[in-house]
Structure 1
Amino acid sequence: MSTDPAPQPHATAEQVEAARHDPKLANVLYHDWEAGSYDDKWSISYDERCISYAADRFRYVAGDADWPYGRALELGCGTGFFLLNLMQAGLAKQGSVTDLSPGMVQAALRNAERLGLDVDGRVADAEHIPYDDGSFDVVVGHAVLHHIPDVEGALREVLRVLKPGGRFVFAGEPTKIGDFYARRLGALTWKAATTVTKLPPLQGWRRPQAELDESSRAAALEAVVDQHIFDPADLEAIARRAGAADVRAATEEFTAAMLGWPVRTFEAAVPPGKLGMRWAMFAYRSWQRLSWVDRNVLSRVVPRGWFYNALVTGTKPAR
C-alpha cells in the first residue's frame, strides 16, 4: 500500500500564506491544484505531435546513440509529458516518475496506465530521490530544474541514482534573457486582449475573471513556484560541480518564443474553445516553422543565451 501523501487540490488560506515563504510547499499546493487541468492548459497530448516534440528535444541536446535505454526516471514529472512520450518514442520500456506534488504523480500514473506503459511512481523531493544508487540508465526532466531550490544538490542525486555511464537530459528551462522578453510580451498581450474585449462588440471574446475562492486559492502561488532562470554557461557549470561528465547545454526558441508567449497568453484571455481548431493548427504550424528557422539559421548568428529554452545533458562518470 502506498505511503505517499494525498493530493491537496484545495489549499486553505493558511497554507497559501505559509507557502509564500516556502517554495517547496508552494510547488506542492500549486501543482496539486493544477494537476487536473495541466494537460489542457499546456496543450499536452500523448500522440504523434508530442511524441515527436519530446524525442526531438532529447536528440537535439544528447543524440540517440544509446537508445533504447534500460530503465528511465523522470524527475518532477508533472503529468508525465516528457517521459511517457519519450517511452512511446522508444527511449525505454520501463520507467519511474517522481514529483513533489502528489496530484501530479497520480496524474502521470493514470496517463501511463491509459497508454499501457510500465511505469511506477513516488512522491519525492528532487533533492532526495527515493531510489537506490545506480537504479537508472537515463534520467529526464522537462521544465523542472527552475522549480528546485538546490539545483546542484538535485543533480548530485540524479548522478547517484544513475548507473555509471548513464545520461541525464533536462529540457524546457527558461534562460535569463528569454524570460525577460517572454514575460513582457505576455504581459503586453494580456493587457491588450483584456482591454479590447471590454468593448461591447467584443465582450463575447472576454473570459470571465473569477475571484479566487477556497477551490482556487493556490492559483495565487504561480508567482512563487519559479526559483531560477538560467544562463546556459552557468547551467553547464552547475552540472559539472555536481560531478557530471560530458556536459553540454543547448538553447532553442527565439522567434518561436516571441510568437508562442503572446499566442498562449491570448488563448488564456479568451473563453475556452472560442478560437477553434483552425487557430490551433495555425499557431502550432507557425511555431514549428519559426522553431526551424531558430535552430537552423538564427542559432548560427544569435548568442545562445538569447534563446528562450535551455536544455542540458551530461553523464555519470564510468568507474
Structure 2
Amino acid sequence: MTDPAPNPHATAEEVKAAYDDPKLANVLYHDWEAGTYDEKWSISYDERCITYATDVFHAVAGEAEQPYPTAMELGSGTGFFLLNLMQGGVIKKGSVTDLSPGMVQVALRNAENLGLDVDGRVADGEAIPYEDNSFDLVVGHAVLHHIPDVQASFREVLRVLKPGGRFVFAGEPTKIGDFYARKLGQLTWWLTTNVTKLGPLSGWRRPQEELDESSRAAALEAVVDIHTFDPKELERWALGAGAVDVKAVTEEFAAALAGWPIRTFEAAVPQEKLTVKWRLFAYHLWLRLSALDKKLLSKVLPRELFYNVMITGTKPGAPVEL
C-alpha cells in the first residue's frame, strides 16, 4: 500500500473540517510545517542536539541497554529524536513514522543526508502498520499529546515491541507546565507584536502576512495539541496497557519559564534579526537553567511543576538480545 502524498497547502474547506477532526488537523498542520519545522524549533543533527537527545533518553531509560538493534520513532516529525539517538550510538537501524506524509518525507531526507539506515511509513499512532514483535525499542518526542487515544497507542507500542523491548517517550507537556508556558507565550506574542508597531522598532516587526500566517498556525495548533499530562496518570495508562517497569520523570522548570518567551519572541520577529550572538545567548541561557533544574530544583520541587514529562517501560517477556 502506497503512503499518501504530503499536502502542504490545505484549502480553506479542509482547514475548516480539521477543527472537528484532530487527526486531519494533525496531518494538515504538520504537512504545512514540515519544510520549516527544523528551523522553527532550532533542530539540528550536530553535537548540540545529539547531546540533548541522548541526555533525555538516558535520564529516563538509563544507559545499560544499548545500542538497540532496531527502533521505531512514533510521530517522528522530521526525525529529530531518532536520528540524533542513532548518531549518539543508542540505535543501529531505525524506522520513522508519522501521521503527516510531509514529516515522513523530510525525516527520510534528513536520514539520507546523514547516511543513516532508516526506513519510514505514514502511520496512525493508534494503528501502527508493523507486525507484532518488530522492534527492540520504540521512541517518541512530543507525540503522545497529539494522539486522541493515548491508551490505545500504548497498547499498539507494546504490540510492535519484541518481548523485553523498551519504549521511551519524552517532551510531553504536563498540565501545570502547559498552563504557564501558554500564558507566557501569549503575553510575549502580544507584547512583541504591539511594541514593534512603534516607529523606532518597526524594523523588528515581521511582515503582516507572515504574522497572520503564524496566527493561523497557532489557531490550528490549538486543535492538534489534544492532551496535557499528569505524570502519575501517564504511568497508570502505560501500566494499564500491559507495560512493566514503568517510570515517569519530569524536566524543565526554570528552563521553560525562560524558553517559551524566547521561542515566541523568535517567532514574532524577522529571522535576520536573530544573530548568531543572540542564538548563542539563548542556547547557553537554556543550558544554565537546565542545569539548575537538574541539580537543584528537581530535588526540591514536585515533579508536576516541571514542563516536560518523560516516560519509559518495557514489554513483559525475555530481555532484549543486544
Q: TM-score, normalised by structure 1?
A: 0.97
Change in CA separation of 1:294 and 1:283 when aligned onto 2, cut-off 3 Å: same
Q: Which residue of 2 aligns with 1:35?
A: 34
> Would you say 1:67 and 2:66 are equivalent positions?
yes
Change in CA separation of 1:208 and 1:103 when aligned onto 2, cut-off 3 Å: same
1:112 CA displacement: 0.4
Structure 1 residue identity aligned to 2:109? R
- Secondary structure class of the residue paired with 1:58: helix
Residues 127-178 of structure 1, C-alpha deviations (whole Å, 9 max, x = no match): 1111111100000000000000000100100000001110000000000000
Matches of 2:185 and 2:128 in 1, distance apart?
35
Q: TM-score, normalised by structure 2?
A: 0.96
> Would you say 1:210 and 2:209 are equivalent positions?
yes
Matches of 2:233 and 2:164 in 1, distance apart?
23
Residues 24-55 of structure 1, C-alpha deviations (whole Å, 9 max, x = no match): 00000000000000000000000000000000
Kept after mapping to 1: 8 A contact 2:56/2:170: yes
Kept after mapping to 1: 8 A contact 2:211/2:268: no
Matches of 1:112 and 1:194 in 2, distance apart?
37
Aligned residues: 318
1:275 CA displacement: 2.2
Structural RMSD (CA): 1.7
- Secondary structure class of the residue paired with 2:208: coil
Structure 2 residue identity aligned to 1:95? G
1:295 CA displacement: 1.1
Kept after mapping to 1: 8 A contact 2:135/2:162: yes
Question: Any stretches of 5+ residues in structure 2 without a counterpart?
Answer: none
Q: Which residue of 1 aligns with 2:171?
A: 172
Q: Which residue of 1 aligns with 2:130?
A: 131
1:217 CA displacement: 6.6
- Secondary structure class of the residue paired with 1:314: strand
Q: Which residue of 2 aligns with 1:50?
A: 49
Structure number with the higher helix fraction is 2
Matches of 1:98 and 1:270 in 2, distance apart?
32
Change in CA separation of 1:250 and 1:213 when aligned onto 2, cut-off 3 Å: closer
Q: Which residue of 1 aligns with 2:77?
A: 78
1:208 CA displacement: 1.5
Q: Which residue of 1 aligns with 2:265?
A: 266
Change in CA separation of 1:185 and 1:218 when aligned onto 2, cut-off 3 Å: closer
Q: Which residue of 1 aligns with 2:275?
A: 276
1:193 CA displacement: 1.1
What percentage of aligned pairs have identical amino acids? 74
1:211 CA displacement: 6.8
- Secondary structure class of the residue paired with 1:79: coil
1:209 CA displacement: 2.4
Residues 164-219 of structure 1, C-alpha deviations (whole Å, 9 max, x = no match): 110000000000000111111111111111121111011001112217999x9766
Question: Any stretches of 5+ residues in structure 1 without a counterpart?
Answer: none
Written as runs of structure 1 = structure 2, the 5 A alignment for 1:170-319 is 170-210=169-209, 220-318=219-317
- Secondary structure class of the residue paired with 2:35: coil
Kept after mapping to 2: 8 A contact 1:10/1:217: no
Kept after mapping to 2: 8 A contact 1:13/1:217: no
Kept after mapping to 2: 8 A contact 1:51/1:88: yes
Change in CA separation of 1:100 and 1:236 when aligned onto 2, cut-off 3 Å: same
Kept after mapping to 1: 8 A contact 2:250/2:303: yes
Residues 216-251 of structure 1, C-alpha deviations (whole Å, 9 max, x = no match): 976641211011000111111111111100000000
